[in-house]
Structures are given as C-alpha cells and as structure tokens.
Amino acid sequence: MSRKPVIAGNWKMHNLQQEAIDLTNGIMQELKSEDKALLPEVIIAPTFTSLYAANKALKDCGCGKVRLAAQNCYYETKGAFTGECSVEMLKDTGCEYIIIGHSERRQYFGETDEMVNKKAKSILNNGLVPIICCGESLEQREAGITDYHIASQITKALRDLTKEEVSKSIIAYEPIWAIGTGKTCDSVEANRVIAMIRNVVKGLYDTDTANSIRILYGGSVKPATIKEQMAQSDIDGALVGGASLTADSFAQIVKGAICNSCV
Ligand code: PGA
C-alpha cells in the first residue's frame, strides 16, 4: 500500500511576518519547476502571528504546492481561555493541519496525553488533520522503555477516535534526544520504532487503518539524511525543525522525498 509522503517544516518560535512571507515565497520558488503530482505533501508551520502572512503568500502564489499548519491549538471552541487559539480560529487563518503534543509543548508547557487526545478530537471534528508527536527521552531510551513509552503515548492520544479519523491523521515519531541536537536517530532504528507504532495502531484498530496512517520521523532531519530515511519501509516523511528555516535546505528535503511510485 502506498502512502503519500509528508514533509512538514516546524518553524517553532522563529520568523516575524515579513520573514515568514520571504521564507514561504523562497520555498515556493525552489519548488517552482517540480511536478506537483510527484511532490510529497509539503507543509509549513509558522508561529501564530505569522500564519495570516504566510497564508496570504501561499494564496498569492496559487500554486497549491505548500499547505499551512499551526504548531498548537486549544481544544475548547471559544470562551475565557486567555492566550489560546481554537481550531476554528486556526482553520479560519488557512490551517489544514495542527501539530500537537510536540515534546517542547509537553516539556515547557505541561501538555499531557489527555490534552493531546482532546486536541486531536477537536482538530478532526473541524475537518483538519492532527500531526500527533510522540518520542522518548534519552533516559527512557537508556532505561529500555522506549517502546512502552511510545505505545502508551499513542494509545492515549488516539483514545475514542474512529478508524476513519485515525486513517486521516499523521503521527510524528521524534526522539527527544535527536531534536535540535544534530544527532539524527539511525534510520533503521527510527524505522523499527515507527513500525512498532504502526503495530500499535493495528492492535487498536485494524490492518487497513495501520497501513493508511502516515508516520513521520523528526529529529535533526537534514538534506543529507532524508533519502536514507525515505528508503525505509515505514517512514512516510519528516517533521523538520532547524533545516526548515531556510528555503534551500527545506526544499532539498522536500525533493529528497519525491515519490515516483505514489501517484
Ligand atoms: P529539529 O526539530 O529538526 O531541529 O531537530 C524537529 C522538531 O522539533 O520537530
């Protein structure tokens, strides 16, 4: 079964509005001569304040090769939740995807598995796609509990979702020790964990759902690593942090994920 690859750029807390416009335009320029049908699903996730500007740049270009994501959301629809953004608000700004459960949100902002689950439900109810992050710390890896930890994160994140909803969702496996460190997880090991995640989905749902859900690798992905990562059986793409902040390196990663057998 062929799954369409996904390359998502997580800009984190970078880029003022004009910088976001320039980067968005730069990425589209780099991808200009590429056949849209062969490209992976290309996603950029600017910070909240740059979403409008980036969306405008995408619309002005009109090439439809790049889509918009937010880096976070709140699960309530509206109300007295100072500082938060609902899924509907993000959809209104042009977002089609929302990253949830990123390790930085879990570590610095107390995001729990239960919150990730509520956010996933709200995102899917609004017709958007959640990009659900999971990953182990170095301590957990050294203690030999990587698989147990990830299986638990995924099981809790997907609680009460239907198989149709799960089939549409995206998971990103991001070992915390590989994020922003330059230490990419070995591709074979990343593929092993991702295949394990797929097996967890199979256990919770069925083979079709497990074969439909796209599962990305994230953690120091670079132009030099993407081809080997994409050559693995279960890695469907990448969630890219640092290397998504320049048009050239992000576009190289996108081009490294062009899939000739996925059209
Ligand atoms: P990195 O970040 O590519 O800079 O390691 C990945 C992420 O946090 O999503």
Residue type, position 18, single letter: Q
Please indicate whether residue 174 is annotated as part of the active site. Answer: yes
Phi-psi region of 219 (alpha: psi -120 to 50; beta: other; left: phi over 0): left
Q: How confident is the model at residue 263, as a pLDDT?
A: 40
71: pLDDT strictly greater than 70:
yes
- Specify the residue with its C-alpha closest to ligand 1, atom 3: 241
- The Å distance, Cα 111 to ligand 1 centre, comes to 18
Ligand 1 atom at minimum distance from 218 CA: 6
Q: How confident is the model at residue 261, as a pLDDT?
A: 53
Tell me 39's DSSP state.
S
The finding on whether 184 has its CB within 6 A of some atom of ligand 1 is: no
- Reported as a single tens digit per residue, the pLDDT across 213-227 is 999 999 999 999 999
- Of the candidates 143, 161, 39, 181, which has an alpha carbon nearest to the alpha carbon of residue 100? 161
Tell me 40's DSSP state.
P
- Environment class of 202 (CB within 10 Å of its CB; exposed 0-12, middle 13-18, buried 19+): middle
Q: For the chain, how are helix, strand and coil distributed in percent, rounded to 5?
A: 50, 15, 35
Say if CB 246 and CB 253 are below 8 A apart.
Answer: no
- Pairing between β-strand 237-240 and β-strand 214-218 as defined by DSSP bridges: parallel
The finding on whether 5 has its CB within 6 A of some atom of ligand 1 is: no
Q: Which two tokens stand for residue 260?
A: 């000739």
Say if CB 166 and CB 205 are below 8 A apart.
Answer: yes
Q: How confident is the model at residue 1, as a pLDDT?
A: 59
64: pLDDT strictly greater than 50:
yes
- The Å distance, Cα 225 to ligand 1 centre, comes to 13
- Specify the residue with its C-alpha closest to ligand 1, atom 2: 241
Q: How many helices (H) and strands (E) are present in the chain, helices listed first?
A: 12, 8
Say if CB 68 and CB 32 are below 8 A apart.
Answer: no
Please indicate whether residue 111 is annotated as part of the active site. Answer: no
Q: Which two tokens stand for residue 110?
A: 């107390």
- Reported as a single tens digit per residue, the pLDDT across 155-198 is 999 999 999 999 999 999 999 999 999 999 999 999 999 999 99
User: How many other CB atoms sit within 10 Å of the CB of residue 32?
Assistant: 11
Catalytic residue among 30, 41, 102, 104: 102
The finding on whether 174 has its CB within 6 A of some atom of ligand 1 is: yes
Q: How confident is the model at residue 132, as a pLDDT?
A: 99
Phi-psi region of 101 (alpha: psi -120 to 50; beta: other; left: phi over 0): left
The DSSP secondary structure of 131-199, one letter per residue, reads EEEE---HHHHHTT-HHHHHHHHHHHHTTT--HHHHHH-EEEE--GGGTTTS-PPPHHHHHHHHHHHHH
Reduce the DSSP state of residue 27 to 3 states and report it: helix
- Reported as a single tens digit per residue, the pLDDT across 5-42 is 999 999 999 999 999 999 999 999 999 999 999 999 99
Q: How confident is the model at residue 2, as a pLDDT?
A: 85
Q: Which two tokens stand for residue 6?
A: 């996904």
The finding on whether 101 has its CB within 6 A of some atom of ligand 1 is: no
Rg (CA), the chain: 17
- Reported as a single tens digit per residue, the pLDDT across 100-153 is 999 999 999 999 999 999 999 999 999 999 999 999 999 999 999 999 999 999
